[in-house]
Amino acid sequence: MSHSSHPSHSPHTSSSPRPDFSRLAPYGWDDDWATAYADAVADSSAADPAPVPGRVVRVDRGQCDLVTPVGTVRADTEFVVPRDPMRVVCTGDWAVVDADGAPPYVRSLLPRRTAFARSTSSKRSEGQVLAANVDHALIAVPLAAELDLGRIERFLSLAWSSGAHPVLVLTKADLVPDATALAHLTADAETAAPGVQVLPVSAETGEGIDVLAAVLAGGTTALLGQSGAGKSTLANALLGRVAQTVQTIRDRDGKGRHTTTTRNLLPLPAAGGGGALIDTPGLRGVGLWDAEEGLGQAFAEIEELAARCRFHDCAHHAEPGCAVLAAVEDGTLPERRLVSYRKLLSENVRLAARTDARLRAEQRQLYKQRQALGRHMMERKRGPHRKP
């Protein structure tokens, strides 16, 4: 049912729960969010009941669950449905909520600090936000299969682009009992992740979990990776309880089923440093989205070398005086890194071109609609046309 106006409200009464802002602390509430919330409600009518801030912990179609100072609220999102898919309500968002509504509804979203996004499809030039207001992008890569360094670089490019700080975890480390082999695998992963902490962990034995919890303490973490990466098991280990269902991987191909089907935000134990964790469904495809800056950070050593090339627009293919190619020739830069960089850079350029084309088409359509409206209004002003 479509609403033409906001539903009616009644102010908080003695029977209504009293706001308790300490409820928000485990979910990342701080002075900056308090300021953003105050700014968002500054223009509210005095006749309205005071809305409360809330953090989205789960999103369903048309509704979302939020933790608020008056408790957990299930709210309608009808009034914050944008045309831009990058601005839809997402797990991790902070919002202004009319908790006393019938039903409660989300009045507005507070400006995001960060957003982890990917392209939705190669055929549609649209992005999808997987998690909002994230401090750490925890990328899970299983040691049960051969390391896919190219996929690691793809995830890291998106993570850096989000504004969050990536952390790479090599899960199922117990499957590599030989310490020397584990050290080699960790070193291989580090070559694909300059400037990123790489931690081998085992949720089964507890190896590395305490160190990882300390790294993530106090912030909001989005847990990302393919199905079968051990994300749900790792989430349970970090949470200290069974919060996510775990299924075994398929024997025939080593791939896991999609155990997690929604994005849920859960508070981490205070004893481990606190913070919040967003567990996401396994990602089959990880398309780049506006990842130019992230690519520069994921391939920082190539960007640094490129600054020394003879030509500022060097493409690093066959140009004379190319510092990048020289580094490949002398072995200081693995050729695989350059090949991966070229591939991801080209993909990002193609997507940007398609996105620009879509925006131009939308602008042309909007212009035509305005022209048609203008002609209609002119005709109304002139009145019915009479023949002489």
DSSP state of 83: S
List beta partners, residue 264. Answer: 279
Q: What is the pLDDT of residue 18?
A: 74
Tell me which residue of 83, 82, 90 sits closest to 66, measured CA to CA: 90
Q: What is the pLDDT of residue 113?
A: 95
SS3 sequence of 117-170: EEECCCCCCCEEEEEECCCEEEEEEECCCCCCHHHHHHHHHHHHHHCCEEEEEE
Of 282 and 149, more confident:
149
- Tokens 């914050």 correspond to 80
Q: What is the pLDDT of residue 376?
A: 58
Tokens at residue 349, please? 């350029």
- Cα 78 from Cα 3, distance rounded (Å): 8
Of 196 and 359, more confident:
196
SS3 291: coil
Q: What is the pLDDT of residue 55?
A: 97
**How do residues 302-319 score in pLDDT, each as one tens digit?**
999 999 999 998 989 889
**How do residues 68-117 score in pLDDT, each as one tens digit?**
999 999 999 988 888 777 889 999 999 999 988 888 999 999 999 999 98
Contacts 24+ apart (CB under 8 A), 309-318: 316/342
For the residues of 87-118, what is the DSSP string, one character each? GS--TT-EEEEETTSSS-EEEEEPPPS-EEEE
Reported as a pLDDT band with limits 50, 70 and 90, residue 127 is confident
**Entry pTM:** 0.79
214 contacts: CB under 8 Å, gap ≥ 6: 272, 273
Least confident of 23-37, 225-239, 341-355, 357-371: 357-371
**How do residues 39-57 score in pLDDT, each as one tens digit?**
998 866 555 667 999 999 9
Reported as a pLDDT band with limits 50, 70 and 90, residue 228 is confident
Mean pLDDT score, 281-286: 68
**How do residues 238-279 score in pLDDT, each as one tens digit?**
998 776 555 444 333 344 444 445 789 999 998 878 999 998
Q: What is the pLDDT of residue 362?
A: 58
Least confident of 5-19, 220-234, 360-374: 5-19
Residue 10 in this model has a pLDDT that exceeds 50: no
Residue 383 in this model has a pLDDT that exceeds 70: no
- Tokens 């609403």 correspond to 3
Tell me which residue of 166, 269, 180 sits closest to 225, measured CA to CA: 166
Tell me which H or E stretch contains 277.
strand 276-279
Mean pLDDT score, 311-328: 92
Q: What is the pLDDT of residue 357?
A: 57
Q: What is the pLDDT of residue 20?
A: 86
